[in-house]
Chains A and B, each alone.
Chain A
């Protein structure tokens, strides 16, 4: 290695070479397929959606691969690698090289996707603003993860805010948004001027991110910590005031519940609270909203716990949310508790977290709507409800719907436990990839559909697919039941959980599934095929096999096998 620049490049490459090659290979293969099927209008729509999905996934991977951080023993996760501070290299270079390499990698992926995937489809993606936008996003990402090694919550909060801004910000570069939505938002200047400001802003973010990162990494190199004394004191006060631990725990299970809760229980509520604040404060300050905007904001708010649960659930499924390692630490592994008791504690913490989150969402939404919202659209919905359903059903449906979203959020939180607790990194990465693929496909489908809203989608267009759905769902229910029977039998045989607890969980499953089925029956009393389809779907929602599987995989993880 002849220079530090090469050494750092080699390190990043060596860590991510498999994923990097795989990303480029996937983009190349998709491009080849698109080139082969070019001109075939039947496949063009599907190929376009798939192209977006692959491109977004490859970009996600590149962000993940080029973060250039390392966990530290004494708390915190992912900070600038301290070992490099001992090297005779200027801090400016230590910061500049990873930032430069990451930016180049992100650009390479985007340009490769634009050329290889979309050009054969006859679609020319814009070049200048996405490249600038991606560099901006990447440098902000690195700046945040390098700048707050002292507080993981602050880092997570800043990352969430930045991710929300970045996820929405790109829309302001689209011509119809600039020309249409800006005026609705009250902007009276010319769209061209607005776009120019955006470009100037983007051009400045890279150097600004470099400057801030340099300042913070320089401070870390010389042992200067961020002045978070008041923040720490506040947190300490909250911890002592609301989470005192002066009396002993009644049992080991109560102790691990407390530990899990302290570590992960508040992440979802805090994340949702941040979204609530980001959404409600500006809308409250901007004055009363239109009826449509009220409905839009409420829809976004009710959707956010579900979306966040999908993301946070990936970390929650690991033995330690804040640790990149998937192996159970010896400190926890040597406690005389069964793996069943550990998993039960996790399930309970997830349930508590979901209840707190939805309590917060419902309460704040109610208060906000009364202060700043317009009830016209909501009233129209209620009128429709009155028209279709009886008085009892009108009350029962919202209650069951709230229960359904609680269950769904909880499911997203605990979905990956069996894989995350197994300690197998490859399984975990594959599971994350699969989850990402499903969600990105869903979003790409929704975006594509909204772009082609002029084309009416008739039921008979998709009927050939719908007739297979009952069979697929029935197969899923049978597979789930079989796997559940096997897993819980093993749990019982190995005495990981008492019979009483197993029966209690099974009772909960029956009750929860019954209520979901009840919701479906009430909501769709006349459309039989849809009702039956959704009943089958309801039977797959509440986890049945997964908790048992999680207990078995955790037991294997504990014994290093």
Chain B
């Protein structure tokens, strides 16, 4: 699927036709996306959708089986040093060396990045409340997430990749610190790509969004444009309906009796015409939340997958 997007010339990350299989499982299927410089790019999708696999390709930790990945115009597999020098990464698994102390971790990581800002690192360490003498293995999951975030941020990377950054963080840190940091990074003209399950968080922070479902990119673009292009219509029928016929413009249909709710994408006018033929009146029209859009897309794709399986 292709989406109107930033041209590859402005893009910090350019992924084109990327596919990847793990055994018989297709983890990524012809994914193409461009992440513009200075944007906060949210990557959403259910568990196993392919978000981490995509991020690993961007880091060069997985080699593209087909398609191409370019970060700052370079191939991260062929030129790891050229790419990774400018990328801060927080892993989903927080795989920090358990035996290091926090001060050793900072000292160690600093060695790789000439742009490391010791004052900023110290400021973040104090903000996160990390004891420099504590060993990583004694830190809680949330504290490990903070330590990981600290070392990803302290050299002021041009591109910040955060894989499920909220996992393990308490709501206060998540809302007040993480989101503030992400916004600050973007305000400085740097780029952030982060994956999350928490759609309200993505909605608050990101200005670009990509939705992955079963390895396929089902939605990609500016957040406001995505939301603008979706509508939730409340319909009323003169007589009670037991079911509505499936319509290709509708992403989801819910309801019973006389009142039904339909979520549609882009083709509103065509849908309204179809509904009028069925005898329905649109009594309310709202912009749906990202959560609703996600569920509608995921549900629709799951339905398509089930029907195609049934047909085959």
Interface residues of chain A, those whose CB is within 8 Å of chain B, are 73-75, 245-246, 248-252, 254-255, 258-259, 262-263, 329-331, 333-338, 494, 558-561
Contacts and interface: CB of A to CB of B under 8 A. Distances in A.
B9 interface: no
A265 to B, nearest CB: 13
Shortest Cβ-Cβ A-B pairs, 6 listed:
A255-B111, A75-B98, A249-B111, A336-B84, A560-B62, A336-B85
A249 B110 contact: yes
A374 B105 CA distance: 51
A481 B17 CA distance: 41
Contacts of B104: 245
B19 interface: no
A559 B107 contact: no
A254 B111 CA distance: 8
B63 A249 contact: no
9 contacts: A75-B137, A249-B107, A255-B111, A255-B112, A330-B56, A331-B97, A333-B61, A334-B84, A559-B63
A74 B85 CA distance: 28
A335 B112 contact: yes
A379 B290 CA distance: 87
A298 B93 CA distance: 49
Nearest to B163: A330
B108 A258 contact: yes
A532 B63 CA distance: 47
Contact of B80 (A255, A336, A560): A336
Nearest to A253: B111
B63 to A, nearest CB: 4
Nearest to A335: B112
Given A249-B107, A558-B80, A262 B95 contact: no
A338 B91 CA distance: 20
Interface string B67-104: 00000000001101111110101010101111100011
Given A255-B111, A336-B80, A262 B99 contact: yes
A559 B111 contact: no
Dominant secondary structure at the A interface: loop
B165 interface: no
A248 B107 contact: yes
A252 B111 CA distance: 5
A331 B89 CA distance: 9
A255 B97 CA distance: 13
B113 interface: yes
Contacts of B91: 330-331
Contacts of A330: 56, 59, 61, 89, 91, 93, 95
Contacts of B110: 248-249
Contacts of B89: 330, 334
A334 B61 contact: yes
A246 B62 CA distance: 35
B45 interface: no
Contacts of B215: none
A129 B29 CA distance: 61
Given A245-B107, A331-B95, A337 B81 contact: yes
B42 interface: no
Contacts of A263: 99
A338 B80 CA distance: 7
Nearest to B139: A74
B60 interface: yes
Interface string B170-190: 000000000000000000000
Nearest to A243: B104
B178 to A, nearest CB: 20
Given A249-B110, A330-B91, A559 B77 contact: yes
Nearest to A249: B111
B113 A336 contact: yes
B137 A74 contact: yes
A259 B96 CA distance: 12
Contacts of A258: 108
- Among B77, B108, B110, the most chain A Cβ lie within 10 Å of the Cβ of B108
B108 A259 contact: yes
Contacts of B80: 336-338, 558
B162 to A, nearest CB: 13
B112 A259 contact: no
A338 B107 contact: no
Contacts of A251: 111
B63 A335 contact: no
A245 B87 CA distance: 25
Contacts of A262: 99
A468 B26 CA distance: 52
A75 B81 contact: no
A558 B111 CA distance: 20
Contacts of B60: 558-559
Contacts of A73: 98
B99 A75 contact: yes
Contact of A558 (B61, B85, B87): B61
A559 B112 contact: no
Contact of A338 (B81, B97, B103, B137): B81
B74 to A, nearest CB: 12
Contacts of A329: 95
A496 to B, nearest CB: 10
Given A75-B137, A559-B60, A559-B62, A259 B97 contact: yes
Contacts of A248: 107, 110-111
Most chain B beta-carbon contacts within 10 A, residue among A246, A254, A262, A335? A335
Contacts of B96: 331
B308 to A, nearest CB: 30
A263 B78 CA distance: 29
Contacts of A333: 59, 61
Contacts of A336: 80-85, 112-113
Contacts of A558: 60-61, 80
Given A74-B98, A75-B137, A560 B63 contact: yes
Nearest to A331: B95
Interface in B100-135: 103-104, 107-108, 110-113
Contacts of B82: 336
